[in-house]
């Protein structure tokens, strides 16, 4: 049994479930576990300090799985940019055939490097207009991020229930649904909305293989659907992070009419965020998490999680929805109401 879509065909995976690239988290231990479970694991290039380190991490991942996996390359707007082309060249040289991209339009230079080598490009977007632009630019798969997602949801504030079908109506290439997905109900819903798979980040944080401290995983379980904060709103760079004393402080400082980014810089640095993930001390910085925390109640292995999600989705599609249809057909009143 399984759920086959254009996503599974293009990526060569068993199940239409992708682990999104996550800074400080997307390393071989997690990516290989997701791929071995039948999904697509993704290494995060910028988690590695330089292209050489990425080459070594790809080799480690390849030693841990014989299944497909990808590499995330996110291009940030920054003055002192990382060696993006160096990371892309390592992907080419290492024979990796799937790359997840995100970030500024400059990422298309990376696409231009990768495409001649047969690399499948999976690009993350937060709006229909950006998804269409990615399709015109030669992207193979679009991952559409709804407002519920962790990380940067864009500035339109459109939730997945609207954004996913709006994108599916206009795109010709396959679509991954991202933001708010963590169980089989979400996968079944995403398929019904026109997506052909789901991209999960926060849910994979709460797995045994995720390389983060158990105290962070525990906070994800403790937080409910209200357990996030939106930061950087006034700077037009909105980001969703897990609710904590530190993110509450960032929101409070930012709400001051005269506040600037410099007033919160010491609280939001990436180094401090990594410290949180490593130490489990939530007072040291921010951790990224989405609204799906409200649906996370355990810390399974990736194999257990992926298998459970697929089984739940299959049951919903083949039993629950089919049962509703059967009841409608045999209910005279329901039949009379049918168009």
One domain, residues 93 and 239: no
6's CB contacts (< 8 A; 6+ apart) are 174, 196
Residues 98 and 227 in one domain: no
In a domain, 311, yes or no: no
* 327 located within any domain: no
183 shares a domain with 264: no
**247 with 208, same domain?**
no
User: 221 in a domain, yes or no?
Assistant: yes
Q: In this structure, are 71 and 10 located in the same domain?
A: yes
Within the chain, which residues score under 70 in pLDDT? 1, 324-339
297 found inside a domain: no
Domain that holds residue 102: 6-212
Residues 28 and 44 in one domain: yes
| 310 located within any domain | no
Asked if residue 160 and residue 31 are part of one domain, the reply reads yes
Q: So what's the pLDDT on residue 320?
A: 76
Number of independent structural domains in the chain: 2
* CATH code (residue 105): 3.20.20.70
- Inside any domain, residue 135: yes
Q: Are 195 and 267 in a shared domain?
A: no
Give the per-residue pLDDT at 79.
Answer: 72
Dig out the tokens for 108 from the structure: 């298309």
Give the model's pLDDT for residue 110: 96
Domain co-membership, 122 together with 243: no
Residue 299 lies in a domain: no
> What are the phi and psi torsion angles at 317 (to 5°)?
-70, -45
Is 339 a domain residue?
A: no
Q: Quick one: 69 and 14 in the same domain? A: yes
What is the phi/psi pair of residue 259, to 5°?
-70, 150
What pLDDT shows up at residue 337? Answer: 53
pLDDT score at 14: 98
Whether 190 and 242 share a structural domain? no
| 203 and 218 part of one domain | no
pTM score of the predicted model: 0.93
């Amino acid at each position: 049994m399984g759920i086959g879509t254009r996503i599974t065909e293009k990526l060569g995976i068993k199940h239409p479930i992708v682990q999104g690239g996550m800074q400080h988290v997307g390393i071989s231990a997690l990516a290989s576990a997701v791929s071995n479970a039948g999904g697509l694991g993704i290494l995060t290039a910028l988690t590695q300090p330089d292209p050489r380190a990425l080459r070594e991490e790809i080799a480690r991942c390849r030693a841990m799985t014989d299944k497909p996996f990808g590499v995330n390359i996110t291009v940030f707007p920054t003055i002192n940019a990382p060696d993006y082309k160096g990371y892309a060249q390592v992907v080419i040289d290492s024979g990796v055939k799937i790359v997840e991209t995100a970030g500024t339009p400059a990422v298309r230079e990376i696409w231009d490097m990768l495409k001649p080598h047969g690399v499948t490009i999976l690009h993350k977007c937060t709006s229909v207009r950006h998804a269409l632009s990615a399709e015109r630019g030669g992207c193979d798969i679009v991952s559409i991020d709804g407002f519920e997602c962790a990380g940067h949801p864009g500035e339109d504030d459109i939730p997945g229930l609207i954004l996913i079908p709006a994108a599916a109506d206009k795109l010709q290439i396959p679509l991954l649904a991202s933001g708010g997905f963590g169980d089989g109900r979400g996968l079944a819903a995403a398929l019904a909305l026109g997506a052909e798979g789901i991209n999960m980040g926060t849910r994979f944080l709460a797995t045994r293989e995720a390389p983060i401290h158990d105290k962070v995983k525990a906070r994800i379980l403790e937080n409910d659907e209200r357990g996030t904060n939106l930061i950087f709103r006034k700077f037009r760079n909105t980001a969703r992070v897990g609710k904590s004393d530190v993110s509450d402080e960032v929101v409070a400082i930012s709400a001051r009419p005269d506040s600037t980014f410099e007033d919160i810089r010491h609280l939001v640095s990436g180094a401090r965020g990594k410290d949180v993930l490593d130490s489990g001390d939530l007072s040291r910085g921010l951790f990224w998490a989405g609204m799906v925390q409200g649906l996370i109640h355990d810390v399974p292995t990736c194999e257990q999680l992926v298998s459970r999600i697929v089984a739940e989705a299959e049951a919903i599609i083949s039993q629950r929805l089919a049962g509703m249809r059967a009841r409608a057909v045999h209910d005279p009143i329901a039949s009379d109401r049918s168009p």
